[in-house]
Amino acid sequence: MPGEGGLVINKYEGVIKRYREFLPEIDDRHIITILEGNTPLIKACNLGKIINPVIEIYFKYEGLNPTGSFKDRGMTMAVSKAVSEGSKAVICASTGNTSASASAYAARAGIKSFVLIPEGKIATGKLSQALVHGAVVMQIQGNFDEALVITREIAKDYDVTLVNSVNPFRLEGQKTASFEIADELGAAPDYHILPVGNAGNITAYWKGYREYYDAGKIKKLPKMLGFQAKGAAPIVLNHIVKEPHTVATAIRIGNPASWQKAVAARDESGGLIESVSDEDILKAYALLASNEGIFCEPASAISLAGLIKLNGRGFFKKGAVCVLTLTGHGLKDPGNAIKVSKEPVVVPCNKNSVLKVMGLK
Ligand code: F0G
């Protein structure tokens, strides 16, 4: 399309229009988009030297979606479908990001949003998003798993659309991240590493890679490597965790809705799902921010913590291409960033004092 001054503008219109042939049908007039997707795949330039110089590490930086997380890819599809079916309200349980995304897309669609979050257990940025987008925010005196049970029951009996990842349209939208990665690399990576919470995203990525493979767009499939936090690792432990706990509040989940699908993604791909400690999550979080200039939230940093763990036991062969999904932006959770960092220095207001701190005097 020619723009002003004769420039050719390649207009980006969001994931639904870009990957329409692989997505459920939807009429143009029902598409609700905030131009999600099209996120950068960033090659590590310093961490390789520190971790393993003979593997290739890429970050799929999903924090750069409109509401700061990968949820937007699924939400454009789920809310568009809800609108096309005449729904006037959406509901979700959330550890924070789903509520931020659902409320933003509902605002865009001009419909209501109701969100249930575990009281005191979501990052400040995410809470502020749901509030400012006008959701009815309910802080439940329970955890995510309990809130999800309530929302499922309400959506079954009342005229309100559930937009958690048990809504199949969510996973349809989220699988577009695999397409983008494959399009950019010209192939699937050898390994795809990502956090596992309610287990929707690992399911969606695997579905996306498989569909691209079946369509002949890629010649091989990646191994899916999922990571849970030690205190919230039901899939690893193979039992429900009644009281999950982790600093990575986004994945503080003890009974994932897509449990079996995540296990299938793991097994069909020849991958694994393991856990890492909060301490290692926070180390990876600080390492990434201070070496690559990429700020993600703690739950996202589990991808890097997982890679470091596996690398420590010689898991990766020379030349292995690893893509790590960084699921959410670091600014959502500034409290943890400040906790893992040095305190700012208080300095008297004069040049000499500043120079002293700079080590120049
Ligand atoms: N990373 C972040 C930043 C998340 O917010 C979530 C899930 C995950 C990873 C895990 O993805 O659930 O598909 O396995 N957050 C949900 C929410 C549960 O409510 O925002 P998953």
Query: DSSP code of 226?
Result: E
Q: Is the pLDDT of residue 276 over 60?
A: yes
- What per-residue confidence (pLDDT) applies to 10? 73
Lowest mean pLDDT, pick from 1-5, 141-145, 286-290, 299-303: 1-5
165 CB near ligand 1 (under 6 Å): yes
Structure tokens at 316: 């990766």
161 CB near ligand 1 (under 6 Å): no
pLDDT digits (tens, 9 = 90+) for 20-76: 999 999 999 999 999 999 999 999 999 999 999 999 999 999 999 999 999 999 999
Beta bridge partners of 92: 115
Pocket test for ligand 1, best of 72, 101, 251 (most atoms within 8 A of CB): 251
Cβ(59)–Cβ(156) below 8 Å:
no
Residues in the chain: 361
Taking the CA of residue 117 as centre, how many other CA atoms within 13 Å lie in the half-sphere pointing to its CB? 31
Give the integer Cα–Cα distance in Å for 332 and 96. Answer: 9
250 CB near ligand 1 (under 6 Å): yes
Cβ(97)–Cβ(126) below 8 Å:
yes
Mean pLDDT, range 164-176, rounded to an integer: 98
Q: Is the pLDDT of residue 127 over 60?
A: yes
67 CB near ligand 1 (under 6 Å): no
83 CB near ligand 1 (under 6 Å): no
246 CB near ligand 1 (under 6 Å): no
Q: Is the pLDDT of residue 356 over 50?
A: yes
CA torsion, ordered 60, 65, 67, 68, to nearest 10 deg: 30
CA-proximal residue: ligand 1, atom 6 (nearest): 250
- What per-residue confidence (pLDDT) applies to 4? 56
pLDDT digits (tens, 9 = 90+) for 88-124: 999 999 999 999 999 999 999 999 999 999 999 999 9
Q: Is the pLDDT of residue 1 over 50?
A: no
- What per-residue confidence (pLDDT) applies to 349? 98
What is the whole-number distance in angstroms between the Cα of residue 174 and the centre of ligand 1? 12
Cβ(60)–Cβ(315) below 8 Å:
no
Give the integer Cα–Cα distance in Å for 354 and 134. Answer: 44
151 CB near ligand 1 (under 6 Å): no
Which residue is listed with tokens 């020379």?
Answer: 318
164 CB near ligand 1 (under 6 Å): no
197 CB near ligand 1 (under 6 Å): yes
Cα angle 61-65-70, degrees, rounded to a multiple of 5: 70
Mean pLDDT, range 134-161, rounded to an integer: 98
pLDDT digits (tens, 9 = 90+) for 78-90: 999 999 999 999 9
pLDDT digits (tens, 9 = 90+) for 23-38: 999 999 999 999 999 9
Task: Report how far apart, in Å, the C-alpha atoms of 247 and of each of 101, 104, 300, 336 are.
Answer: 21, 25, 12, 8
Q: Is the pLDDT of residue 2 over 60?
A: no
Q: Is the pLDDT of residue 13 over 80?
A: yes
201 CB near ligand 1 (under 6 Å): yes
Q: Is the pLDDT of residue 222 over 70?
A: yes
What is the whole-number distance in angstroms between the Cα of residue 160 and the centre of ligand 1? 22
pLDDT class of 7 with cuts at 50, 70, 90? low
Average pLDDT, the chain: 97
What is the whole-number distance in angstroms between the Cα of residue 345 and the centre of ligand 1? 35
What is the whole-number distance in angstroms between the Cα of residue 284 and the centre of ligand 1? 18
- What per-residue confidence (pLDDT) applies to 161? 98
Atom of ligand 1 lying closest to residue 93 CA: 19
Cα angle 334-339-342, degrees, rounded to a multiple of 5: 110
By percentage, how much of the chain surpasses pLDDT 70? 98
